[in-house]
Structure 1
Amino acid sequence: MFCAAVGLTVFLVVGAVPGAVAGMVGFVGALGVVRKREPPRLRRERDRVAADLPLAVDLMVACLRAGRPVAGAVEATVEAVGGPLGDRLAWVSGQLRLGAPPEDAWRALAAERPLAPLARTMSRAALSGAPVADVLTRLSDDSRQAARAASSAAARRVGVQAVAPLGLCFLPAFVCLGIVPVVVSLAGDVLLP
């Protein structure tokens, strides 16, 4: 519906044959924008995964330092965290219990942006046999820092978005009460002898 309205509006503004071509281009462009837009449910889910990631990584580090194997640490984290992150980690835990290669099980999470660093870290550790706890601690610190930066940016965006409506309200008043009387007075002095 939105795409058709954009195409029709462009056609009516431009008119004739160029308007039909421009309307089709507008329709296709609007369709591309609408299709690329992420559904709100997926955005909320991705944000929750990003918010829960530092806690989940810290839980995994605590379990690993307590002597649990990686699969046991993941299972304990799944039970504690839950939600969309818990679902993804439960899948990895299931793969590990079924005997899948750890690097392949973790690499499956690399497609999701918030989980990509965890997937890379765990895949690398599985391939090299390196201790995981120290690397996961750094990953937790980095994801906390990223969350702080994102919340700071969101707070700045809110400030800018709050000023726009105020500007739209006060600008017409300023023009009507401040500029128009000066212009009318000057015009009266110039036009009337």
Structure 2
Amino acid sequence: MIAAAIAHVRSGGTVAQAFGLGGMRVTVARLSPIVEAWRSPEESGETARYVAIGIVAACRLSEELGCAAARCLQTVAAAYRRVRLAETRRRQAFAVPQATSVLLSVLPVGTVALGELMGLRPLSFLLGTDRGLGCLALGGCCYAIGLLWNRALLRGMMANIGMLNRDVGGISADGGVVPWLTLIIAMLDVALRQGSSIPRALAVVGRICGGGIGLGMVRAGEALLRGASWHDAWVVQRADRSAGEAFDLICTALEPSWTRGDMSSARLEAVVDRLDAEERAAIEQAASRLSVRLLMPSGLCFLPAFVFVGIVPSIISFAV
């Protein structure tokens, strides 16, 4: 969808026309249903909304600085591809722990079914005797606790990993959540390539993106225009607990350009690559930690459930 819009804009059309909005202004409210309609089944509604917000931000950047709309949309497409790749990595990394969790959850029930097929009649012991009911109660409790424990581990890891480039600020000027950090950095690169000064680029991109990072960028740009040193312009932003790391990345990447006049593009691209590498490493580390943590519910819950519900009834039924 974004590629088609880029092609339409390059052929002389407008972004609004590319998305079927005619002469209307491109806003998140108008664009979100269109992006949602193009969303693939494996994508979340949140991702679709982030794409819509990114497209609107790209349009604002093009309008305010005169940047080529196609170039601005390319930054959105690149950020979207990175997020999709991160989601794919996350699914692949967590596939083995999830499969292990499913296998452990069906093991007690599968053992009982196998015992019935072999003629051991474990169900008769479990449901027809006091000792069997006791085993069933103990095994059922262990099984239920193990399921809840497993789901909590999986849900927590899946929710917190692979999302480093999202949720980096508050609310943008158009009423949407600030887009990915990689997109903010790419938009900053586009603004500087267009010929904007660093204070102007920081102010415009920050105002468009909004939120905590956007406000910090605007303040840094204003401080530079007032004659503050590079360090003084960023000292407050870098002390921010919620977004200090993002400001560190931006400040470090742009400092040589401000102090020595170096080109900033290569350094900003390196920041994006670093974010991708950190995200990939975080996903791999989280999958490894999850595999280890799954041993706890396996040993403390599923193994006792397997013994109480599967092994003990089969042995007693066979002995009797």
TM-score class normalised by the smaller sequence: 0.5 to 0.7
Residue 119 of structure 1 and its aligned partner are, at CA, apart by: 1.8
Q: What's the counterpart of residue 167 of structure 2?
A: 48
CA contact (8 A) 1:110 1:120 kept: no
Structure 2 distance, partners of 1:72, 1:98, is: 12
Structure 1 distance, partners of 2:276, 2:283, is: 11
Structure 2 distance, partners of 1:52, 1:90, is: 18
Q: Does 1:72 align with 2:190?
A: no
Q: Does 1:170 align with 2:170?
A: no
Structure 2 distance, partners of 1:155, 1:83, is: 31
Note the alpha carbon deviations across 1:81-119, whole angstroms, 9 max, x for none.
212211221221221232212343235544423432322
Aligned residue identity for 2:262: A
CA contact (8 A) 1:48 1:84 kept: no
Q: What's the counterpart of residue 233 of structure 2?
A: 105
Relative to structure 1, is the Cα distance of residues 49 and 172 closer, same or farther in structure 2, using a 3 angstrom cutoff?
same
Structure 1 distance, partners of 2:214, 2:294, is: 36
- Is the deviation greater in 144-153 or in 73-82? 144-153
CA contact (8 A) 2:198 2:221 kept: no
Q: What's the counterpart of residue 264 of structure 2?
A: 132
**Aligned ranges 1:140-155 → 2 under 5 Å:** 140-155=272-287
Q: Which runs of 5+ in 1 are unaligned?
A: 1-43, 185-193
Relative to structure 1, is the Cα distance of residues 88 and 148 closer, same or farther in structure 2, using a 3 angstrom cutoff?
farther
SS class of match (2:227): coil
CA contact (8 A) 1:103 1:122 kept: no
Relative to structure 1, is the Cα distance of residues 102 and 133 closer, same or farther in structure 2, using a 3 angstrom cutoff?
same
Relative to structure 1, is the Cα distance of residues 149 and 114 closer, same or farther in structure 2, using a 3 angstrom cutoff?
farther
CA contact (8 A) 1:125 1:131 kept: yes
Number of corresponding residues = 143
Note the alpha carbon deviations across 1:65-92, whole angstroms, 9 max, x for none.
1111111111121122212211221221
Indicate the structure with greater helix content: 1
Note the alpha carbon deviations across 1:3-49, whole angstroms, 9 max, x for none.
xxxxxxxxxxxxxxxxxxxxxxxxxxxxxxxxxxxxxxxxx9x9733
Aligned residue identity for 2:266: D
TM-score by length of 1: 0.56
Q: Which runs of 5+ in 2 are unaligned?
A: 1-162, 170-178
Structure 1 distance, partners of 2:291, 2:209, is: 33
TM-score by length of 2: 0.37
Aligned residue identity for 2:192: L
Give % identity: 29
Structure showing greater relative contact order (alpha-carbon pairs closer than 8 Å, 6 or more residues apart): 2
Structure 2 distance, partners of 1:156, 1:115, is: 30
CA contact (8 A) 1:107 1:123 kept: no
Structure 1 distance, partners of 2:290, 2:230, is: 42
What is the aligned-residue RMSD (CA, Å)? 3.8
Structure 1 distance, partners of 2:300, 2:289, is: 17
Structure 2 distance, partners of 1:80, 1:103, is: 24
Q: What's the counterpart of residue 116 of structure 1?
A: 248
